[in-house]
Amino acid sequence: MASEETLPPVARKVFAECKKCGVDRYHIVIAHTSSSAAKLQCEVCNAKSVYKLEGASKKKKKSVKAADGTETPPKSRKTGSEKRWRELRDKTTGSAAAYNMKAAFLPQTSIQHPKFGLGIVVGVTPQSIQVVFEDGERSLVHNRG
């Protein structure tokens, strides 16, 4: 995404989590709503969301209090995807195939992506694959050759 000090330009594509789709996808910057926030639109489902610069938000995640009064820290999205990635990685056998958008992939295949690292294919459509990486799930194109 853009650097921590500036917002991405209007009409630029940025990679962010879509709250409606539930995965990281490309969004188009529609407008800057303030000096530290921009309005985004998902390219797939057209859902609108707000992107804020990291230093701009002063909100703090609330911890959860149990009935006995003990507090548990909030869970991050990353730990859930890391756990799922480890489980899938342990189930797959063989070496990882190098990712190429022209190649076709099958479910439960491990791939090595040049930017995202090791990933496991969990869903396949004729034009795209859903891949779980250590830092989250992504939709990648395949079978374009």
Condensed to tens digits (0 to 9), the pLDDT of residues 59-108 reads: 555 555 555 666 655 554 455 778 888 888 888 877 899 999 999 999 99
Residue 90 shares a structural domain with residue 132? yes
Residue 62 covered by a domain = no
Q: What is the pTM of this model?
A: 0.47
C-alpha pair distances (Å), 4 with each of 22, 56, 71, 123? 24, 9, 31, 33
Residue 69 covered by a domain = no
Residue 34 shares a structural domain with residue 85? no
DSSP 76: P
- Residue 91 tokens, joined: 């189930």
Give how many domains the chain has, as a whole number: 2
Domain with 93, as residue range(s), is 76-141
DSSP 88: H
Tokens 């303030």 — which residue? 34
What is the per-residue pLDDT for 7? 87
Residue 82 shares a structural domain with residue 136? yes
Residue 86 covered by a domain = yes
Q: How many Å apart are CA 26 and CA 6, to the nearest integer?
A: 18
pLDDT, averaged across the chain: 82
Residue 136 covered by a domain = yes
pLDDT at 32 over 80: yes
Average pLDDT over residues 13-32: 88
